[in-house]
Amino acid sequence: MGYKSISYVSISKQAVYWQIIPKLRLSTILMSCYAAKISLPEEVERELLRYILSKQLPDGGWGLHLKEQSTVFGTTFSYIAIRILGLGPDHPDVVRARINLHKKGGALGIPNLGKVWLAIMNLYSWEGMNSPFPELWLFPTWLPGHPSTYWCHARHITLAMSYCYATRLTVEEDELIQSLREEIYVEDFSTIDWPAQRNNIYEADLHSAHSWMLDAAFATFNLYERYHFTSFRKQAIAEMYEQIKADDIFSNATNSTFHVLISRYADGADSPIVDNPPNYQRYYRQMNKGGFPFSNRENDWIVSDCTAEAMRTLMLLEEKCPFIEDHVAPQRLFDAVNVILSMRNSDGGFASYETRRGSRLLEIMNSSEIYADCMVDHTYIECTSSVMQGLKHFGKRFPNHREDEISDTLNKALQYCRNMQKADGSWLGRWGVCFTYGTWFGLEAFACMGYIYRGGEACKEVTKACEFLVSKQMEDGGWGEEFESYRFRKYIQHTVSQIHQTSWALLGLMAVRYPDVRVLERGIQVLIDRQTSIGEWPQGDIATAFYKAGTLHYNAYRIIFPIFTLARFTRLYPSSPVAKGLLKNGSVHSEQSQNGRC
């Protein structure tokens, strides 16, 4: 079974997909290209249109992701996207979408980020936005609420939005813009009271309501906006643009869709290449030498768990693959450890891109309206567990390198894991759905520190976590958890077991050597039964989550995690009849491959 999966991956990795782009970002890419007068190949436009229409809901609208009901945000953005891609206003799918949008009161109820993009597209007035107070970027960094303390993504989205607001960046009016003004609103565009729309958010779009402090801040900022100092505003615009240019140089742009427009606005169509910024701290970046980014090297935004997992993978490849002769220089691994140790938070755990800089109170100032828990780079069980596994493996390879610091980091990270475990034994996962995902990482953390089952017994944390997972095993032997678990912060059972969650649960149980092998065999059998003839597994439901309302589509999850699971099971339980069947099928397949028949 695993051999067929690896064969499938080796074939499918050669194709290029837009697999993980959220629907929201897809629409902004199209709006950015339209505004910057960038043409896409005809075949790309055709496939993008096909994809967007394939996700249209029965009521004619769209949500932000596949599990969400239709919203003003999702419907407005997808509507504009399919119009940009060439569908006329009388096309049946466009008419259905327009009817849906009008039933919701039109595009006026779109959340803050949507208002910004509509204003850029000349489909909304900048007067209909609460002022983000662009001058805040000129204030000292010790000021509470300074953008330098935000989570990196929140910081750079705020940066781009503030620049666009301060400069009133707007595309030229043309025939499509004029038509869209008539299509997406119930009212006549020229009669809309724009200031009255600043806090108008459609109920289904609101995932993070304004706090009274945020409303008070907006009232103050809006008043200042009426009388702001021109010279002060120009300084703020210059500072924001310098920050944006620095991000483009440091990485391949956190907010490339915004940056394309801003660069064209500021520098024209032939934007010059600027010099490297003098230092990363000036631009609120963290040291990154030795770290690994979320995607490719050019991205340059290192992540704690990516660094730890990559470091451990490099060491494992060298240890397990004797044919690899070109080993990584030890100093490169030392650099990775250096950056990991620099990212530890005061609670002992690890965040994603940076150390946590701001207080949780910053969430009170969250103005996104569609996302929650996005202002601060919080500490996560996933990142903490990956760091622990990476450092533990490194310590075995290099026992004398920063030994005391690594030991202290591991002990404090384990205590963080203890502190974050819920009463039912689970951990909340923030980057996958949800308690199944988090509990897998929690168990891996304890396992790497030696806390596993011995003689049928384990420590209380491991025992409770395993009891939690086993209690959620479904009748068919698999596991399935709804995306809504992440939103409501409580476990919600799926009606159908899911491949990715079955794999996560099994990996967690096997990590601590859960003694009831029958529980494991039932789950493994689900993976075996659902594998297709070409080696893949069905896509299943949403596997990833962020900010309570966002999702990403990682197509590889349904392949990678079952392979991990089957490999671990056959290695740990080779005498199991299920494992013997897997090994037998695998060896037969291998012989056929060598003989050229498969």
**Catalytic center residues:** 305
User: What's the rounded Cα separation, in Å, for the pair 62 and 78?
Assistant: 7
User: What's the rounded Cα separation, in Å, for the pair 143 and 149?
Assistant: 10
Query: Are the C-beta atoms of residues 222 and 196 closer than 8 Å to each other?
Result: no
In 3-state terms, what secondary structure has residue 496? strand
User: What's the rounded Cα separation, in Å, for the pair 126 and 164?
Assistant: 10
Query: Are the C-beta atoms of residues 425 and 435 closer than 8 Å to each other?
Result: no
User: What's the rounded Cα separation, in Å, for the pair 302 and 292?
Assistant: 5
Tokens 């991205």 correspond to 299
- Distance set, CA 80 to CA 21, 101, 256, 536 (Å): 17, 12, 19, 35
Query: Are the C-beta atoms of residues 339 and 288 closer than 8 Å to each other?
Result: yes
Tokens 């780079």 correspond to 377
Query: Are the C-beta atoms of residues 366 and 217 closer than 8 Å to each other?
Result: no
Q: In one letter, which amino acid is 119?
A: A
Can you read off the two tokens belonging to residue 528?
């075996």
Cβ-proximal residues to 64 (8 Å cutoff; 6+ apart), any chain: 22, 23, 24, 71, 73, 74, 370, 549, 550, 551
User: What's the rounded Cα separation, in Å, for the pair 201 and 256?
Assistant: 26
How deeply is 468 buried, as exposed, middle or buried, from its count of CB atoms within 10 A (0-12, 13-18, 19+)?
Answer: buried
Cβ-proximal residues to 387 (8 Å cutoff; 6+ apart), any chain: 304, 305, 308, 340, 343, 350, 409, 413
User: What's the rounded Cα separation, in Å, for the pair 136 and 237?
Assistant: 11
**Helix (H) or strand (E) run with residue 217 in it:** helix 212-227
Pick left, alpha or beta for residue 349 (phi over 0 → left; psi -120 to 50 → alpha; otherwise beta): beta
For the chain, the helix, strand and coil percentages under 3-state DSSP, each to the nearest 5: 55, 5, 40
Q: Cβ atoms within 10 A of the Cβ of 561, count?
A: 24
Query: Are the C-beta atoms of residues 208 and 370 closer than 8 Å to each other?
Result: yes
Q: In one letter, which amino acid is 377?
A: D
Tokens 């004797």 correspond to 322
Can you read off the two tokens belonging to residue 200?
């108008």
Handedness of CA 340, 360, 358, 243 (dihedral sign): positive
**Shortest CA distance to 349 belongs to which of 382, 371, 321, 325?**
382
